[in-house]
Structure formats: C-alpha cells, structure tokens
C-alpha cells in the first residue's frame, strides 16, 4: 500500500472478528510506531499489549465507570456529556471486542513526551492499515488507565502516563470515510495572499 493510500484510507474501525492478531504482527506495529520522530530523539514511550479478553472487559467496565463518575460531571468536559448514555449501557464495550489493545504511554513528563506518543500512535495506526488490520484510538480508556488502579493493571511504573490506547484487530467492517472540514489555512506571503488560497 502506498503511504497516501494509508493516510487517506485509514479508518477508525469499531467492528472486529474474533481472530487473534499474531504477536509478530503486533510487534511489527510497535516497530513502526517507534520510527516516529520524537523531541531530541528521547523516544519517551512504552507499550503494553493486552489480548486477554476478560481483562479487556474489566478495563472497559472500569473506564466507563470512571468517565461517568469523574469526567462527565465536570462541566469543563462539555460535549463529553453526549456519551453519558453509551457509557451507562452495560452492553457497550469501549474496545468493541477487538482482539488486542496496545497502550502507548509516556515514560517521562515534559513538554513534548505526550506529543511524541501521539506521533507513535499515528504511525501504528497507519501501519495497521497497511497490514490489512483495523485500529482505533480509544480515548475513553485513557483517564482510568492513568489512575493508580489502571497503572497497576498495566504493570506500569508510577511515572509513566498512558496516552494512546489503540485497539487492533481484523476488521469485520470498515466504515466509510468521515468527511473532513476544509482546512483553515492562512497563506502568509508567497505563494498566496493572506486570507486566500492560491489557485
Ligand atoms: C485522541 C482520540 C480519541 C478517540 N477516542 C475514541 C473513543 O474513545 N472511541 C471511539 O470509538 N473512537 C475514538 N476515536 C476515533 C475518532 O472518533 C475517529 O478517529 C474520528 O471520528 C475520525 O474518523 P476516522 O478515524 O475514521 O477518520 C478517537 C480518536 C482520537 C484521535
């Protein structure tokens, strides 16, 4: 697959077959993730791979409860309240029963480590697309995974901060593309004029 095909064709996949993903294929996704650039080449990431379905169910339940208890009531969370119904539904599995979850965590605090992890996550999702696998970043899991209970569950050192929980699996269905808004671009100087797009 050409890079631009992956960039334009990758989708957030929310429906998976039960077929496990071989460890070597998951490892290849991590190898792609670590090719991402990082500030001062610090590579401040760690990876936790979970394929135990009962553990994923437990993390899903804990994450939903945590979101409902601590994040959604916070008015600053604003538009997250639209998820209240889904998060209160016992049948809603935040990982969509995907066979594997890879959590990318920042190994240090600092101005750029979270950004570095997000770059690694995008590499991982593009590599999954290239390999014919589906993936989706599950932000619902991030807050609980960062609690002391969550870190214990991932066997993460206290200083690590979960940033990108990425599910991976064989897609049962790939959704159609979600439309993108026109980019807000300001051309400063050549080749366009400020406020306009070049023809
Ligand atoms: C930081 C982040 C958090 C996300 N969290 C969730 C999530 O919790 N659950 C989910 O189903 N999708 C989640 N997504 C996927 C987005 O909804 C999806 O990328 C977006 O709708 C665009 O669709 P596309 O990826 O198919 O282009 C998340 C994506 C990002 C980047």
Q: Which residue has the CA at smallest separation from atom 4 of ligand 1?
A: 139
pLDDT at 193 over 70: no
Decide if pLDDT at 124 tops 90. Answer: yes
Q: How many other CB atoms are found less than 10 A from the CB of residue 3?
A: 9
DSSP string, 50-70: E--HHHHHHHHHHHHHHIIII
Classified by CATH at the fold level, domain 3-75+86-169 comes out as NADH Oxidase (3.40.109)
The pLDDT assigned to 5 comes to: 96
Q: Which residue's CA is the closest to the ligand 1 atom numbered 3? A: 139
CA 98 from chain centre, in angstroms, equals: 13
Token pair for 131: 């390999």
Each residue's pLDDT tens digit, 31-84: 999 999 999 999 999 999 999 999 999 999 999 999 999 877 766 666 777 888
Among 183, 126, 116, 171, residue whose Cα is nearest residue 7: 126
**Ligand 1 closest atom vs CA 164:** 1
| Domain ranges (residues) in the chain | 3-75+86-169
Nearest protein CA to atom 20 of ligand 1, as residue: 12
Cα distances (angstroms) measured from residue 90 to each of 85, 93, 94, 139: 10, 8, 10, 18
Quick check: CB of 73 below 6 Å from ligand 1?
no
Q: Check residue 86 and give its pLDDT.
A: 92
Does any ligand 1 atom lie closer than 6 A to the CB of residue 136?
A: yes
Q: Residue 82: its pLDDT value, please? A: 83
At 87, the pLDDT band (50, 70, 90 cuts) reads: very high
pLDDT at 181: 97
* Closest-lying ligand 1 atom to the alpha carbon of residue 121: 31
């Amino acid at each position: 697959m050409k890079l631009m095909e992956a960039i334009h064709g990758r989708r957030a996949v929310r429906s998976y077959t039960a077929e496990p993903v071989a460890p070597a294929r998951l490892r290849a996704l991590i190898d792609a993730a670590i090719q991402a650039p990082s500030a001062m080449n610090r590579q401040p990431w760690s990876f936790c791979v979970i394929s135990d379905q009962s553990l994923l169910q437990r993390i899903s339940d804990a994450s939903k409860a945590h979101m409902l208890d601590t994040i959604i009531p916070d008015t600053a969370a604003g538009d997250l309240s639209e998820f209240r119904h889904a998060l209160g539904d016992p049948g809603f599995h935040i990982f969509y029963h995907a066979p594997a979850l890879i959590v990318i965590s920042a190994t240090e605090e600092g101005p750029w480590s979270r950004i570095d992890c997000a770059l690694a996550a995008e590499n991982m999702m593009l590599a999954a697309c290239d390999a014919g696998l589906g993936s989706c970043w599950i932000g619902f899991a991030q807050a609980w995974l960062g609690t002391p209970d969550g870190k214990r569950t991932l066997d993460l050192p206290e200083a690590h901060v979960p940033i990108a929980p990425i599910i991976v699996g064989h897609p049962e269905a790939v959704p159609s593309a979600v439309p993108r808004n026109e980019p807000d671009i300001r051309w400063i100087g050549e080749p366009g004029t400020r406020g306009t797009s070049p023809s």
